[in-house]
Amino acid sequence: MCEVCKCEGVDYKFKNGPTKGLNRDTLYKVYKDHSANISLCHIHSIELFMVGEKRFLKNHLAYARVLANKSFSYKQAEDSPFGF
């Protein structure tokens, strides 16, 4: 399922049609020192390409919050002396 459509509560198959699948895209400027691999539908993948990461995340604030929570949990895991 498209991660942005999931956050916004939209049916990605209805939005894209039955023949379009998911694309694996990468966000490079979200996390410090590593990239985020995400699954996007065809329409959101094109939007990401056309407007860029910064404006894409401004247009989809619900998904930006999800990424921020992942970043926070990733940071806590790095700070753990046990590595988990």
Domain ranges, ordered by start, for the chain = 3-79
pLDDT of 18 reads: 87
pLDDT of 76 reads: 56
pLDDT of 3 reads: 94
Q: Which pLDDT band holds residue 32 (cuts at 50, 70, 90)?
A: confident
- Cα separation, 76 vs 6, in Å, equals 25
Say if pTM beats, i.e. exceeds, 0.85.
no
Instruction: Determine contact, residues 51/27, Cβ cutoff 8 Å.
Output: no
Average pLDDT, the chain: 86
Average pLDDT estimate for 18-23: 90
Question: Does pLDDT of 43 surpass 90?
Answer: yes
**Amino acid sitting at position 69:** N
Q: Which pLDDT band holds residue 75 (cuts at 50, 70, 90)?
A: low
